[in-house]
Amino acid sequence: MSSVGASGSRVGSDSGFMFVMIKPRSERKLSVDHLQGRGMFINDEAQKQVLTILAKTAVTPAADVQERASSLLQLNPGQQVKAEIIANLPNSLYMARVAGEMYKLEIPLNVQPGETLEMTFVTADPRITFQMLRPQAESVQLSSMGKWLADVVKNAPPLPTVQEPLAEHPEQATAELAARLKTSLTQNGLFYESHLAQWAVGGLSMKELLKEPQGKLSPLLSEGEGGSEELARGAIADSRTLPFIKGQLHLLNTGVLAWQGEAWPGQQMKLVIGEGSPEQWEQGIEANLSLELPCLGGVEAKLRFTPEGITVEVVCDRPGASDLLRRQSGELRSSFAAKGLHLNTLAAKDG
């Protein structure tokens, strides 16, 4: 609690409450001086939770003002009263009606005329003091669907890992890797509802939809038998789709799409795609590729895609590998151009 005396001084503090000193409207403002030697300990942490409200009074006799205000109030300690805000005044002052009398209050809150503050009368000696709870923020209540989604995020199993390599042999990687990676990224179930919308307007065939994990659960296929029983019992979704719903929620929350698997047998590869940071470079798509190559060793490549072209930054953990990359940059540029892509810059260094 925090208290303010007739001169507007703080006397004490306790978490969660504030003390309000009130003075008659007809009086002028007193200067504010902190009281000393009262033996009251003010806890710093408690003060963070306290709002201080000051009332204004006059220099003409403070004792007379206090006595008159006390007689007007006629309240008992612990009695609850309401302070009705009547008007806004300059310098965070408000005209308020307390127990039928008008007072000037200095309130460090944004309140408007017509609002009512709940207070409890504490004492009239040595100064009229009220206690008021700090206004609490309204609690947020989730809907039943929100609670269900929260449970999915917390308890649903993760997405299944990629089982098959993208290419059967390294020699096939150039010809097959891009197309198979695209298929793995777009038909993994994370974009199923978007594909349903495309199918509804004729932009995608049913055959393509049935290739996705959710499509394979369709009653149109034998693999989908049994899922309809859960829905008939009132389930929101087939339990076999929960990992994909969890993945979709994670993608919506982070804006990051990740893929991890084998580029070819024994060759691990990790790809992370997301929006680039506008604070560091022009807005666009950024992809981070990690893999271990026979000649170059471990390679971390960052590709930034913008309307003007692609910027590539490569870090190699094998000494001298970056020199080899720079010598072959012309071939990389030609490969990009053959796909209709422009290589802005290639930066390579040894890590």
- On whether residue 95 sits in a domain, the answer given is yes
Which residues neighbour 240 within 8 Å (Cβ) at sequence distance 6 or greater? Answer: 217, 227
Distance CA 21, CA 27 (A): 14
Question: Residue 72's domain spans which residues?
Answer: 17-133
- On whether residue 35 sits in a domain, the answer given is yes
- On whether residue 60 sits in a domain, the answer given is yes
pLDDT tens digits for range 270-312: 999 988 766 555 567 899 999 888 888 899 999 998 888 899 9
- On whether residue 23 sits in a domain, the answer given is yes
pLDDT at 100: 79
* DSSP 8-state code for residue 53: B
- On whether residue 78 sits in a domain, the answer given is yes
pLDDT at 136: 60
* DSSP 8-state code for residue 216: G
Pairing of β 80-89 and β 116-123:
antiparallel
- On whether residue 244 sits in a domain, the answer given is no
As a residue count, the chain comes to 351
Distance CA 284, CA 334 (A): 23
Residue 21 phi, psi dihedral angles, 5° rounding: -100, 130
- On whether residue 159 sits in a domain, the answer given is no
Contact (Cβ atoms closer than 8 angstroms) between residue 230 and residue 240: no
Distance CA 77, CA 125 (A): 11
Alpha-carbon distance values, 28 to 3, 9, 22, 67, 98 (Å):
20, 16, 13, 16, 18
Q: For the residues of 121-170, what is the DSSP string, one character each?
A: EEE-SSS-EEEEEPPPPPPP---HHHHHHHHHHHHSPPPPPP-S-S-SSG
Distance CA 16, CA 300 (A): 53
Distance CA 238, CA 229 (A): 9
Beta bridge partners of 312: 303, 346
Tokens of 25: 């409207």
Distance CA 346, CA 332 (A): 9
Specify whether the backbone of 174 is left (phi greater than 0), alpha (psi in -120 to 50) or beta.
Answer: alpha
- On whether residue 176 sits in a domain, the answer given is no
Tokens of 30: 């007193």
CA-nearest of 102, 88, 116, 83 to 24 is 102
Which residues neighbour 335 within 8 Å (Cβ) at sequence distance 6 or greater? Answer: none
Using alpha carbons only, give the angle 223, 257, 176 rounded to the nearest 5 degrees. 70
pLDDT at 232: 62
Tokens of 207: 């055959």
Total number of domains in the chain: 1
Tokens of 224: 């989908």
Low-confidence residues of the chain: pLDDT under 70: 1-73, 106, 108, 124-128, 130, 132-140, 222-232, 234, 277-283
Residue 70 phi, psi dihedral angles, 5° rounding: -65, -40
Distance CA 327, CA 288 (A): 22
